[in-house]
């Protein structure tokens, strides 16, 4: 009976060792949110051509980013709870090429 309980534990341990799993150091950056977490947060993006913005309905912090036509990348302030974060390509005398948002 004990063998039936021990075998799944042994198999799981062997799979971790074979996969090279290691413990992350305490100072490691937090993991990106899971797809299910992102699905719960609804974000609205906006641009007028020189500024990009984002607002998400979540308590988790996020920020807007924009890649500008002159090659610069600009970032908005960290926000949460439906507050708008804006990334200004106008601050580097350019306009928006692409834009989006990221989780903190």
Q: What is the pLDDT of residue 41?
A: 81
Whether this prediction's pTM lies above 0.85 is answered by no
**How would residue 94 be classed by pLDDT, with cut points 50, 70 and 90?**
very high
pLDDT, tens digit, 9 for 90 and up, residues 7-29: 454 544 444 444 444 333 344 44
Helix, strand, or coil (residue 57): coil
Question: 55 burial class (0-12, 13-18, 19+ CB within 10 angstroms)?
Answer: buried
Say which residues have a Cβ less than 8 Å from residue 52's Cβ, sequence separation at least 6: 45, 46, 64, 65, 66, 76, 86, 87, 89, 96, 99, 100
Closest CA to 54 of 33, 22, 28, 76: 76
pLDDT, tens digit, 9 for 90 and up, residues 37-88: 455 689 999 999 999 999 999 999 999 999 999 999 999 999 999 999 999 9
């Amino acid at each position: 009976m004990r063998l039936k309980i021990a075998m799944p534990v042994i198999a799981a341990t062997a799979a971790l060792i074979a996969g090279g799993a290691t413990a992350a150091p305490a100072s490691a950056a937090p993991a990106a949110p899971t797809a299910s977490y992102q699905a719960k947060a609804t974000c609205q993006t906006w641009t007028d051509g020189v500024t990009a913005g984002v607002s998400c309905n979540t308590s988790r912090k996020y920020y807007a980013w924009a890649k500008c036509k002159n090659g610069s990348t600009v970032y908005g302030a960290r926000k949460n709870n439906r507050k708008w974060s804006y990334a200004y390509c106008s601050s580097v005398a350019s306009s928006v090429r692409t834009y989006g948002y990221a989780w903190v």
